[in-house]
Amino acid sequence: MERRMIKFRGKILLSNEWVYGGVTPTDVTWSCAITTERYGFYTKDYVDRDTLGQFIGLYDKNNKEIYEGDVIKDSDSRTAYVKWLNQECGFCLVYKHYDSRITSLIVPYLEVIGNIHDNPDLIENE
């Protein structure tokens, strides 16, 4: 049985730096913590809850991990962003006029070009 990697990313509240690791809920409603291993030690960084995104378990055409909130360019040079949609029970590409479920068949044609937190203009200009 293949093990699935469950990993998250988020922006540290004070530095705006991205960190990657396991998520830990906090008692503060506007933050959560991501535990990462650095220099042989585990550290807990408090991140902005709005920037929290899960690794979807797939890689783009450049072998880059795809996270919820990433902005994607497809084979037709259209842009979309990655979002979990309950009605689809999965991660989807959200385009301006429609949504598309992400499958392993389309991933080789996708490229991560940014994310909605650092590059909101990539979506707004579509």
Q: What is the tens place of the pLDDT at every residue in 61-119?
A: 999 999 999 999 999 999 999 999 998 888 999 998 887 888 777 888 999 999 999 99
Which residues share a beta bridge with 33?
24, 46
The answer on pLDDT for 1 being more than 90 is no
Give me the pLDDT at residue 11, please: 94
Total-model pTM: 0.86
Residues 6 or more apart in contact with residue 1 via CB below 8 angstroms: none
Q: What is the tens place of the pLDDT at every residue in 30-61?
A: 668 888 877 778 888 889 989 999 999 999 99
pLDDT band at 126 (very low <50, low <70, confident <90, very high): low
